[in-house]
Amino acid sequence: MKLSLNSLAALVVFSLLSRLPMTSLAAEGSVGIQISNNVVLLKVDGDKDDDWRMQSSTNLTTWTTLTNFGTLLSGNATNAPWRSVGAKAAAPTYYRAKQTYGLYDPSLFRTISITYTQASATAFSNAMHFGRQFETNVYLPAVWMDNGATNLHVGGRFKGNSSYTGLRRSINLTFDQVTTNADLMGFETINLNNANLDPTVMREALYFNVMRQYTPCPKGAVCQLYANGALWSVYCLIQQENSELIKEWFPSNDGDRWRAPNAATGGGGMGFTSSNSAFIVFTNANVWAYTNHYWLKSTSTNTLTAYQRLTNAIYTLHLTPAAQWRDKVEDSFAVDSWLWMLGIEILFVDDDSYWYKGADYGFYYEPESGRIHPVQHDGNEAFFTAAGVDYTLSPITGATGNNRPLLYKFLNNNELRQRYLAHMRTVLEESFAPTNLTAIINQYHALSVTALMSDPRRTGDMIAYTNGLTALKTYITNRYNFLTRTNADLAWLQPNINSVIGPTAAVYATNIPTIKANVTSNGNSGVGSVWLYFRDKSYGRFTVRQMFDDGAHGDGASGDSVFGAVTTNYPAGNKIHYYIEARATNTAQAARFSPARAETVTWDYSVGLTVSTNTSVVINEFLASNTSTLADPQGEFDDWIELRNLTGTNVNLTGLYLTDEPANPRKWPFPSGTTIPANGYLLVWADEDGLATPGLHASFKLSGSGEQILLIDADANNNQVLDSITFGAQATDVSYGRTAADADVWSTMTPTPEAANP
């Protein structure tokens, strides 16, 4: 029995008469059911890194999550785990699987189990007694999870400065220790953090799950660890700051990943008086003077180049003339992302931070844009209280002293100061409000409290835990009230952005569309100016233009509170990202953004493809499932696409493209100098071997289940579609091509590469 559902759920139903295995297909998983000795067994087939909550219903309206097991990891027909639901019910019952948010789903309490040998125990014991010199991986025979995930031959080690005090030591697990590219649900390394000084074992996960909505940050959840069958302890499950995290947030992992360490680990400093790792300039020092204060964790280039990139950004921050500074600093730093991170650090009063230590934070040089982005590193000391630091911490901490140059320089530029405060207001409204955070705290409590009660390595007793929960909620309420009720910097009113109106018709490469926004006064604070920001990539700087309500900028009537401005024309296939800023007439010029999470979240529109009415080259034939018909020059039987020249002269294909994605029309460019002879044919291997020689090898493969192929004109011709074919499922070693009788009619045929079709 099969039912089609959406991409997040799969459904299966059985009746009293059902006795055979059944599946129900969804876009990413298939629910399987078996009945054995009147017991119902379920599993999910699909991506091996996905897991699913199982639910049941008798009416397809009311669904109940099954609680007799956790989640189910999907896999293939042989390794996806079967789980018992219990005895088959008398009434017809429906089952569905709802996909989780992955390993770090904050609504789940994961159970991770390890086995260790006596040799492993001895190595761990050495690490406990002798400290960081033994902070190397020891061998663990197996790690598995309650959802069915299993890994063999794993590396484990204690980590972090707090790991060598107390019983609950932080642990790092590395799954590719022995087996190359091994992972746990898509992650090669995970961290079990001990939540030092946090009896609730949730503050770091809480902090990260707010921050990552706005700026690059690890994922976090809570979990329990079993060792050799016994409960070891409850932990914060925190994503490793590595290439996997970088690739989630950035176009590639080809840049430089950095850590600014604190004094206890070899650089920077402790407390607000330190500054060596905070992007200061070391006077008359060469590039190597910075090596003690910034750890280069990874780079695809050489170390000297990476440090030169870092120091160039530092010099830009400090030495650029005032008149050029605002523009130049945007070339070196992803300013908006830094404002989000700095604001959230201060909002949560995070001790392990740029604002407090000038260290213990991370950042990444993005080579595609040439800019440095923040990557939050450590969050276990959020909601910090120390001498002179508590919930009354000023939102503009760092604005009056130059030992935190990012805060000092950014917050003394009023445009950036108001952007920073607008972002802080957004987090306060969306995430930090006590009702919102308390709901998440209560969820973490419900998930973990039973395990904490049995935790043999718990910090303090359950009275300390209860007091910790109360203190955390009180801290949040006090911090929220201080910032929203008594702080003058956040009290200025912002204009209202009531609506944003994007292009109302299809946009093509020849169009320059207008963006409009309805912006009105807020109380006694009027609209001072409105600004449009836009870019044609998911990274890099935004172009900025002022919007006007004068009837001359595509805004409609003058004075109607609708402001307008144009973007520019972009090549076909691009997605254009944009957002709006409105500044008030009050003294602060308080700002509001739409979307509120800009630049992390933006509005967008796509530039469509137009079809050429005249082409001299067409797609003539292709084979999407080649097992024995024709081997490429490398001896492999790969997919191929045949082009045909309809003219009596040679045609130069330089500047043209082939693609299988309309949204990415420039996917594979023909190599410069590629020609197709008069009335001749040209074969392109669709095998993802773009740099292979000899032969032409496209950067994509064809799907035997059906897709599109498009021949795209040059950029100078607005990337019009010269020819295209949309096809369905293909048979093995049977090609699809234009028929000789009528070139406009396509048909299956015996393959005839580089020759006339039958």
Check: CB of residue 157 under 8 Å from CB of residue 172: yes
> 41 near 85, Cβ under 8 Å?
yes
pLDDT of residue 163: 54
Per-residue pLDDT at 125 exceeds 70: no
Per-residue tokens: 126: 């050495």
**177 with 155: CB under 8 angstroms?**
yes
**Least confident window among 99-108, 221-230, 266-275, 422-431:** 266-275
pLDDT in tens, 558-593: 999 999 999 999 999 999 999 999 999 999 999 999
Q: What angle do CA 404, 406, 409 make, to 5 degrees?
A: 100
Contacts of 230 (CB under 8 A, 6+ apart): none
Given a cut of 90, whether residue 529 has pLDDT beyond it is yes
Kindly give, in sequence order, each residue whose CB lies less than 8 Å from that of residue 23, ignoring residues fewer than 6 positions away.
1, 2, 12, 30, 31, 32, 33, 45
Mean pLDDT of the chain: 89
Mean pLDDT over 199-210 rounds to: 96
Alpha helical stretches, state H, 429-540? 434-453, 462-481
Q: Which residue has the higher pLDDT, 80 or 408?
A: 408
Res 750: pLDDT = 96
Enclosing H/E stretch for 11: strand 9-14
Residue at 252: amino acid letter:
S
User: Which range, 29-33, 174-178, 209-213, 457-461, is most confident?
Assistant: 209-213
SS3 244: helix
**Euclidean distance between CA atoms 581 and 575, whole angstroms:** 20
Phi, psi for 469 (deg, rounded to 5): -60, -45
What does the alpha-carbon distance between residue 260 and residue 39 come to, in Å, rounded to a whole number? 56
Record the tokens describing residue 242, joined without a space: 């590595």
Residue 336 to residue 541: CA distance in whole angstroms: 10
| Separation CA 559–CA 348 (nearest Å) | 42
pLDDT band for 88, please (50, 70, 90 cuts). confident
Per-residue confidence at 135, pLDDT binned at 50, 70, 90?
low
SS3 state of residue 630? coil
What pLDDT, on a 0 to 100 scale, did the predictor assign at position 271? 59
- The continuous run of DSSP H or E covering 419 comes out as helix 414-427
Residue 8 has pLDDT above 70, yes or no: no
Across the range 714-719, mean pLDDT stands at: 92
pLDDT for residue 275: 83
- Report helix, strand or coil for 444: helix
Q: What is the pLDDT of residue 29?
A: 63
Residue 124: pLDDT band by 50, 70, 90 thresholds? Answer: low
| pLDDT for residue 268 is more than 90 | no
Q: Where residue 272 falls among pLDDT bands split at 50, 70, 90? A: low
Q: For residue 387, what pLDDT is reported?
A: 77
Lowest average pLDDT, out of 93-102, 122-131, 166-175, 585-594, goes to 122-131
| pLDDT at residue 127 greater than cutoff 80 | no
pLDDT for position 572? 92
The pLDDT score that the predictor gives to residue 92 is: 85
Residue appearing with tokens 């979240």: 601
Mean pLDDT of 369-377: 96
Least confident of 122-136, 459-473, 475-489, 728-742: 122-136
Q: Which is nearest to 577 in space by CA: 539, 614, 620? A: 539
Cβ burial 665-686 (10 Å sphere, 16+ → b, else e) = bbbbbbeeebebeeeebbbbbb
pLDDT at 524: 85
Q: Is residue 616 predicted with pLDDT exceeding 90?
A: yes
**Number of other CB atoms surrounding residue 151 within 10 Å:** 21
Residues 6+ apart with CB under 8 A from 719: 509, 571, 572, 573, 609, 657, 665, 666, 712, 713
Q: What is the model's pTM?
A: 0.89
Mean pLDDT value of segment 424-441: 97
Residue 76 has what pLDDT?
Answer: 72
Helix (H) or strand (E) segment spanning residue 129: helix 118-130
Backbone dihedral angles phi then psi of residue 171, each to the nearest 5 degrees:
-130, 140
Report residue 717 CA to chain centroid gap.
34
Q: Would you state the pLDDT for residue 576? A: 97
Under DSSP, the state recorded for 82 is: P
Largest distance between two CA atoms of the chain:
89
Q: If pLDDT is split at 50, 70 and 90, which confidence band does 164 have?
A: low
Closest CA to 704 of 627, 619, 618: 627
Residues 6+ apart with CB under 8 A from 663: 573, 575, 606
Which pLDDT belongs to residue 129?
44
For 171-191, the pLDDT digits (tens) are 999 998 888 888 999 999 999
With residue 406 as reference, give the H or E element that holds it: helix 405-411
- pLDDT score, position 132: 44
Convert the pLDDT of each residue in 14-71 to its tens digit.
Answer: 333 233 333 333 335 678 888 888 898 888 888 888 999 988 899 989 999 888 778 9
**DSSP-assigned letters across all residues of 314-326:** HHHHHHS-HHHHH
The pLDDT of residue 396 is above 50: yes
Distance of alpha carbon 222 from alpha carbon 380, whole angstroms: 13
Q: What pLDDT, on a 0 to 100 scale, did the predictor assign at position 477?
A: 98
CA distance 53 to 48: 15
The pLDDT > 90 percentage for the chain reads 72
Question: Which of the four pLDDT bands, split at 50, 70 and 90, describes residue 120?
Answer: low
pLDDT value for 79: 72
Rounded average pLDDT over 677-689: 94
Q: Is the pLDDT of residue 166 over 60?
A: yes
H helices present in 286-402, as ranges:
303-319, 322-332, 335-347, 354-357
Q: Which two tokens stand for residue 482?
A: 């201080």
The pLDDT score that the predictor gives to residue 348 is 97
What CA–CA distance (Å, rounded) separates 341 from 406?
11
* CA pseudo-torsion sign 713, 719, 723, 726: positive
The DSSP annotation for 521-588 comes to: -BTTB-EEEEEEEEESSSSSPPEEEEEB-SSSSS-SSTTSSEEEEE-----TTPEEEEEEEEEESSTT
Cα–Cα distance measured from residue 308 to residue 294, given in angstroms and rounded to the nearest whole number: 12
